[in-house]
Amino acid sequence: MPHLKGAQKNHLLAALPADVQERLLPHMECVELPLGKVLYESGDTLRYVYFPTNSIVSLLYVMESGASAEISVVGNEGLIGVALFMGGESTTSRAIVQSAGQAYRLLGQRLKDEFNRHGALLHTLLRYTQSLITQMAQTAVCNRHHSIDQQLCRWLLLSLDRLEGNELVMTQELIANMLGVRREGVTDAAGRLQRLGVIEYHRGRIQVLNRVKLESLSCECYAVVRKESDRLLAWAKYTDKV
């Protein structure tokens, strides 16, 4: 079926052996994820998993006061709904679309059935979960010890890695909510990056003009997350297809 070719844009699905893809892909549905759409709220029972292709979804922890902060970002390298195959069925985070696009949706029970074969999917998803835990841990450290400027650079780089181009559509208010900081702090940090010629920001659109400079201004947290993600995905591609 034509739509199955698009699923290969998701790195997890592309890493799976042909027999696993043949069992899963026919049951997947390509869905549109508009900006701001909430895939699930904290405490919801998860029915589906989502494999983004050209969209980005943020996982947020929401406080009783309504304040929130991003704990991880998921794009074409992963999936939304880890709790389903880890046995939890629900999660304490909110999943909200940060960058509009598409994803492939699969009924959670079908994923669990394949996971319980104890084959390639299980190994691939556990490695992905390890990389997700690394990102969550590094985000916590970054939010505690690094400046807003460094946090913004890390966030921009992680987002860029999950998109095909070099442009993000995102208001400063939404970025502030993701980072758990005041909007004024994001405005100042974005202004400094713009004056350095690293980004161009206008009417909710952020274009990265100098990625090398952006990486040099970021803290070590981005490199740690990127290295671990690349290592585990490369391992999955090698071990699951030999």
What one-letter code names the amino acid at 85?
Answer: F
pLDDT at 235: 62
pLDDT classification of 211: cutoffs 50, 70, 90: very high
Residue 242: how many other CB atoms lie within 10 Å: 6
**pLDDT higher than threshold 60 for residue 124:** yes
pLDDT classification of 3: cutoffs 50, 70, 90: low
**pLDDT higher than threshold 90 for residue 236:** no
**pLDDT higher than threshold 90 for residue 111:** yes
- Average pLDDT, rounded, for the chain: 87
What is the pTM for the complete model shown? 0.88
Mean pLDDT of 118-144: 90
User: Of 99, 188, 197, 195, nearest to 149 (Cα)?
Assistant: 188
pLDDT classification of 193: cutoffs 50, 70, 90: very high
Mean pLDDT of 159-181: 83
CATH topology of domain 147-218: Arc Repressor Mutant, subunit A (1.10.10)
Sequence-ordered list of residues with C-beta below 8 angstroms from that of 142, at least 6 positions apart, any chain: 150, 151, 154, 219, 221
What one-letter code names the amino acid at 220?
Answer: E
Residues pairing with 38 in the sheet:
96
Mean pLDDT of 44-65: 90
**pLDDT higher than threshold 50 for residue 24:** yes
pLDDT at 91: 81
pLDDT classification of 242: cutoffs 50, 70, 90: very low
**3-142 is a CATH 2.60.120.10 domain:** yes
**pLDDT higher than threshold 60 for residue 1:** no
**pLDDT higher than threshold 90 for residue 240:** no
What one-letter code names the amino acid at 119?
Answer: G
- Name the burial class of residue 231, with classes exposed (0-12), middle (13-18) and buried (19+) by CB atoms within 10 angstroms of its CB: middle
Q: What percent of the chain has pLDDT over 90?
A: 51
* Domain residue extents for the chain: 3-142, 147-218
